[in-house]
C-alpha cells in the first residue's frame, strides 16, 4: 500500500476548472502542464500555477525534463507579459511564480521578456 503523501490528487473541482479556463483564455503556458508535473491537480485545485514564459519549446535537451525541445528561431510572444498580468489579477494571486524555458536562441536568453513580465505583473 502506498503512503498517503505519495498519492496524486485528481485534477477536479471548481477552482481547478477556473484556473484551467483562465490559462486557456490567455493562451498561457505553465511548467505544471509542459513538464507534466504530477502535482498539477493539487496546485490548480488550490488556485495556483507556475507560469512558464517564452513559449513551450526549450532549446536544451535535459534528459530529466518533459518540456518539448527544439529551436523557436527567435520567436517571442510580445503580448505574453500583459496576458500573464491579466491572469494573475483574475486568479487573485498574492504571489506569482514565473519560470521559463531556456532560450539559447535569444541574445539575452530572454532576460528582456522576464523583466517585462515582472513589471507588468507588479502594475
Return averaged pLDDT per consecutive 10 residues of the chain, 123 residues in all: 73 90 98 93 92 97 94 95 98 95 97 97 92
pLDDT of residue 10: 72
pLDDT score for 3: 80
Q: For residue 88, which of 38, 53, 61, 55 has the smallest C-alpha distance?
A: 53
pLDDT at 92: 95
Note the pLDDT of residue 5. Answer: 73
For residues 42 and 27, is the Cβ–Cβ distance under 8 A?
Answer: no
pLDDT of residue 6: 73
**pLDDT for the residue 45:** 92
Domain parsing of the chain, residue ranges: 9-122
Amino acid at each position: 500500500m502506498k503512503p498517503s503523501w505519495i498519492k496524486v490528487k485528481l485534477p477536479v473541482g471548481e477552482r481547478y476548472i477556473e484556473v484551467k479556463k483562465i490559462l486557456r483564455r490567455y493562451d498561457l503556458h505553465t511548467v505544471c502542464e509542459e513538464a507534466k508535473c504530477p502535482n498539477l491537480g493539487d496546485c490548480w485545485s488550490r488556485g495556483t500555477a507556475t507560469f512558464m514564459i517564452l513559449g513551450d519549446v526549450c532549446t536544451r535537451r535535459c534528459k530529466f525534463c518533459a518540456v518539448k525541445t527544439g529551436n523557436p528561431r527567435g520567436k517571442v510572444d510580445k503580448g505574453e507579459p500583459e496576458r500573464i498580468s491579466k491572469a494573475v489579477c483574475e486568479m487573485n494571486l498574492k504571489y506569482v511564480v514565473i519560470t521559463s524555458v531556456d532560450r539559447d536562441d535569444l541574445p539575452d536568453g530572454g532576460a528582456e521578456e522576464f523583466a517585462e513580465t515582472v513589471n507588468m505583473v507588479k502594475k
